[in-house]
Amino acid sequence: MFSVLGIGSNGLTAQSDVLNAVAANIANANTPGYGRRETALASTGNTVVRPSGAKLLGQTLTAGLTLNAGAALVGNSPTFTNGIQPTNTESNLAIQGDGFFMVSTPNGIAFTRAGSFEIDSGGELVLPSGAKLYPPVTIPQGVQFSIAANGVVTIKGSNGPQVVGQVKLASIPNPAGLTAQGNNLYTLSANSGKPTVVKPGQGGTGTLASSAVNQSSTNLAQSLVNLVQAETAYNVNVKVISVDQQVIQSTTNLKV
Amino acid sequence: MDALYIAASGMIGQNQNLGLIAGNLSNSRSPGYLQETGTFLAFPNGSVVENGANPKVLGKSSSGVAFTSGVDMAGSGVASTSNANDLAILGHGFFVVRTAKGLAYTRDGQFSVDAHGNLVTSQGDFVLGTNGKPISLKLGQSFTVGPTGVVTQGNQTVGTLALTNLSPRGLTSLGNDLYTSPARLPFTGQVVQSSLNSSNVNLSHEMVQMIDAQSRYQSLTTMVNEESRRLSTAATLGVLA
């Protein structure tokens, strides 16, 4: 017997995955550099219950019977946009293009568009999570500095301006293929392609803006519409399960 | 005994109907999904069958019913998204994709660009151009798609999407939002970028169908119980049914 309960439960799982993504998007509507989760739903593979043209006792059934097992989540990838918002911290950096910052974490290099960099006690540019900018840039404490659009970091030295570092950006062929590691950090996957490390402005990465950060790519209005739709679809699957439960009940009540 | 077999064939049919409706309801939010339609066929005899690769008759009755499925080609709405990789077809028509098992057609335009610059579906199948090759894009550059499927990057045309209408006759579902049909027809729709075809499942209609199938199934179980009671009464009286 074809499992109606199984279809209902596939539907619940898929819609609950969508709800999780929508909830994460709404929660991160104000998180700098956040890439909203774009989910993709599709029907599952088919089960051919009876092929077309089946012959039974000399009678041919032209139309066959094919049933699918409901819906499944087939995609859940980050999508980034280019809006920027100003901040009051000079070490904050926004990317006016499609590039990514590289930061070193205990698990290796990670990529991010959240440029909320601060200067730590050692003078290095770090994210609030503690991940250091890669390649590292060190700015002595209490010195006036500026970060140019092309990534050159200059400090005001006693003998005039002095270059202390260069911020580099990575150009990733397919950012939607990146794997989220939490904390707004991403790592490469087979689907993301190999990054090219360039100076800001080259290879479509975009130039830098100091005292600014990239906005979250969440569109709040769209997310709320998605939330309502996913909730409705979830409830429909609950109804499927409750109907099949009653059907099973009447089957077990058969008196033979 | 006949009534038991007739009722059983009806119960099997209604259960398959519930499975089909549940599949449609589960896919009410799957972009480009075409709903399956069920048809009950009167079956003169031999109604209780085992399905599968080698269908066989388990019980005979004077009449019964068989349940068959088809694909509903009814048009679906176009909902705009904020993702330029999403493509929809306004009106009738399908995108042509190449899967591991050969050519297939889809209305699910949740596309993305893979690491090699190929336009792929959410399942990773290649979206084909009119030349029969996957649409290949320059990485890191946005692209625009015109109403006739011409794909441009900057001022350069990089390909034209293969688009086709399909004959409803023989249209079958392959699962994963993919369809196939023996006959192609000229494309009459329009491609819209940053949009998706919604699923063509009519939620309220399917909900009613589900309640309908449920009550019919339950009526049949009542019938089986009645027939069973009648048979036992007949047996106590020593009358053969």
Task: Please give the Cα distance from B86 to A65 (Å, whole number).
Answer: 32
Q: Which residues, in sequence order, are bridge partners of residue A163?
A: A154
CB atoms within 10 A of CB A156: 11
Averaged pLDDT, B221-233: 91
> φ and ψ at B218, to 5 degrees?
-70, -35
Closest-CA residue to B28 (of A227, A230, A77): A230
In whole angstroms, give the CA distance from residue A156 to residue A147.
12
- Whether chain A has a CB inside 8 Å of the CB on B203: the answer is yes
Task: Tell me the average pLDDT across B48-70.
Answer: 75
Instruction: Specify the pLDDT at position A195.
Output: 92
Instruction: Give the amino acid at B128.
Output: L
Query: Is A70 in contact with B23 (Cβ distance < 8 A)?
Result: yes
Q: How much is the pLDDT for B46?
A: 58
How far, in Å, CA of B140 to CA of B149, rounded?
A: 21
Give percent of chain B above pLDDT 70.
92
pLDDT at residue B47, rounded to an integer? 54
Give A226's pLDDT tier (boundaries 50, 70, 90): very high
Question: Which of B33, B83, B228 is closest, CB to CB, to A43?
Answer: B33
What distance in Å separates the CA atoms of residue A111 and residue A113, rounded to the nearest whole number?
7
Burial of residue A197 (number of CB atoms within 10 Å: 0-12, 13-18, 19+): middle
Nearest to B3 by CA among B175, B216, B224: B224
pLDDT in the model for residue B59 = 67
Instruction: Give the pLDDT mean for A204-208.
Output: 90
Q: Is the Cβ of A246 closer than 8 Å to some Cβ of chain B?
A: yes
Q: Chain A residue closest to B18 (CA)?
A: A4
- Tell me how far apart the alpha carbons of residues A26 and A218 are, in angstroms, rounded to a whole number: 7
3-state secondary structure of A27: helix
Q: Kindly report the average pLDDT of chain A as a whole number.
A: 91
**What distances in angstroms separate CA A84 from CA A81, A87, B54, B71, B197, one per listed residue?**
9, 10, 63, 47, 31
Which residues on B lie below 8 Å from A226 (Cβ)? Answer: none
Q: Please, what is the average pLDDT of chain B?
A: 89
User: In which band, very low, low, confident or very high, does the pLDDT at B48 lie, cut at 50, 70 and 90?
Assistant: low
Q: How many Cβ pairs within 8 Å bridge chains A and B?
A: 209
Comparing alpha-carbon positions, the chain B residue that sits nearest to A190 is B115
* C-alpha atoms less than 13 angstroms from C-alpha of B56 in its C-beta half-sphere: 2
CA distance B99 to A124: 49
User: For residue A253, what is the DSSP state?
Assistant: T
Q: What angle do CA B2, B4, B5 make, to 5 degrees?
A: 70
- Spatial contact of B178 and B126, defined as CB atoms under 8 Å apart: no
| Higher pLDDT among residues A59 and B138, named by residue | B138
Segment B155-209, tens digit of pLDDT:
899 999 999 999 988 889 999 999 999 989 999 999 999 999 999 999 999 999 9
| Residue A221 pLDDT exceeds 80 | yes
Cβ-Cβ contacts under 8 Å for B213 (sequence gap 6 or more): B14, B17, B18, B21
Q: Dihedral of the CA atoms B222, A3, B72, A40 (nearest 10)?
A: 140
pLDDT band of A242, cuts 50, 70, 90: very high
Q: Nearest CA of chain B to the CA of A147: how many Å? A: 25
**Rounded Cα gap, residues B178 and B175, in angstroms:** 6
Predicted confidence at residue B1, as pLDDT, reads 64
